[in-house]
Amino acid sequence: MANVTQIREDELKIGSEGLMEYFVAVRRADTKEFIAGYRFEGYSGHAMMDEVRHIRQTFEKSVTYPVTVEW
């Protein structure tokens, strides 16, 4: 079953840690300040990318400045 967990910056392991497990960091685009981190388990690459797109759009609307997403 797919699962998304919000994590702290010190828990990030950018990239794929295992099969169908991904870590994602949301940062402010201009200062690279950490905003949020997520661990995706049980997601295919395509499903994770769809979620990342949604996260980016949601954050940019709520914080009113550009964000970057690393995975």
Q: Which domain holds residue 26?
A: 3-70
- Best CA proximity match to 60, nearest among 25, 12, 28: 28
Which residue has better confidence, 14 or 7?
7
HSE-CB of 8 using CA atoms within 13 angstroms: 2
* Cα 52 to Cα 46: distance, rounded to the nearest angstrom: 10
Q: Is the pTM of this model over 0.85?
A: no
| Residues 6 or more apart whose Cβ sits within 8 Å of residue 65 | 28, 29, 30
Q: Taking all residues of the chain, what is their mean pLDDT, rounded to a whole number?
A: 86
Number of domains in the chain: 1
Give the model's pLDDT for residue 12. Answer: 85
Note the pLDDT tens digit of each residue in 8-30: 888 887 655 667 788 889 999 99
